[in-house]
Amino acid sequence: MTLEDVEQAASRAAPADRGAAMRRAIAAAMSRSKREIPHYYLAETIPLRRAVAWLSRQNEQRPVTGRVLMAAVLLKAVAATLVRTSELNGYFREGGFQPSPAVHIGVAIGLRQGGLVAPAIHDVAGKSLDRVMADLADLVKRARAGSLRSSELSDPTITVTNLGDQGAESVFGVIYPPQVALVGFGRMHERPWVEEGTVAVVPVVTASLAADHRVSDGHRGGLFLATLRDLLQQPESFLE
């Protein structure tokens, strides 16, 4: 069962029952995922001082309605990282891994009636930060209005879930088949951090990776998180 199957199962239910129907469909999909996919999990706490400062400078030049959220920066960082670690971007089908030439990130969105969908923002690596922000806002709006396109539910090559606004410091998710990885971000918060021999209070976020051991291993997963961390120390390298 894929994300598209989950949405279709919920849409067939009566409006009053759609939340419960979606929860049952998600339960079936996630149970299958845990049975069939040998998950492994890794996490890295990433300092965001440079990324936050870069974004603040950019937003100073924009009207309030045109400002970019850190969530869009994190999506761009994940996409840039996947370009370098492509074995986490694609599908496990017919007994083997099928890499995707483009990065279509499924964004986990909670629905008002209950349940969760993760429709895709297409070609995140090839889009500007402003375009990703606009696509993200549009996707959230249409997901909650029930007007997603079927391709947006079937196309994700990886999923990103961000539970920072729920107060969670870290999240370890379950992979959506046939994808082979899921990236989680927790709450951005301040923490004492050593930078160049000096202790300072800086914003940090915990990034986690759930990945399919049939396709990658801990070494490659660790490389993904290390690359993600390093890119976020040089935001201009992938955002400008």
Cross-strand pairs, 113 = none
Please provide the DSSP assignment of 64-133 as one string: GGGPPPHHHHHHHHHHHHHHHSGGGSEEEETTEEEE-SS--EEEPEE-TTS-EE-PEETTGGGS-HHHHH
The reported pLDDT for the residue numbered 87 is 95
Catalytic residue among 17, 130, 138, 217: 217
- Cβ contact 175:29 at 8 Å: no
pLDDT digits (tens, 9 = 90+) for 179-228: 999 999 999 999 999 988 899 999 999 999 999 999 999 999 999 999 99
Which residue of the set 130, 138, 213, 230 is catalytic?
213
Domain with residue 43: its CATH number is 3.30.559.10
| 95 band by pLDDT with thresholds 50, 70 and 90 | very high
pLDDT for 110 beyond 90: no
177 part of a folded domain: yes
- Count: domains in the chain: 1
pLDDT of residue 14: 47
Judge whether 217 counts as a catalytic residue: yes
Q: Which is more confident, 21 or 166?
A: 166
pLDDT tens for 121-133 read: 999 999 999 999 9
Q: Are the beta carbons of 147 and 141 closer than 8 angstroms?
A: no
Please indicate, yes or no, if residue 25 is contained in any of the structural domains: no
pLDDT digits (tens, 9 = 90+) for 22-74: 677 777 878 888 899 999 999 999 999 999 999 999 999 999 999 999 999 99
Range of the domain at 146: 38-239
Domain-embedded: residue 5: no
Global confidence as pTM: 0.89
| Res 8: pLDDT | 53
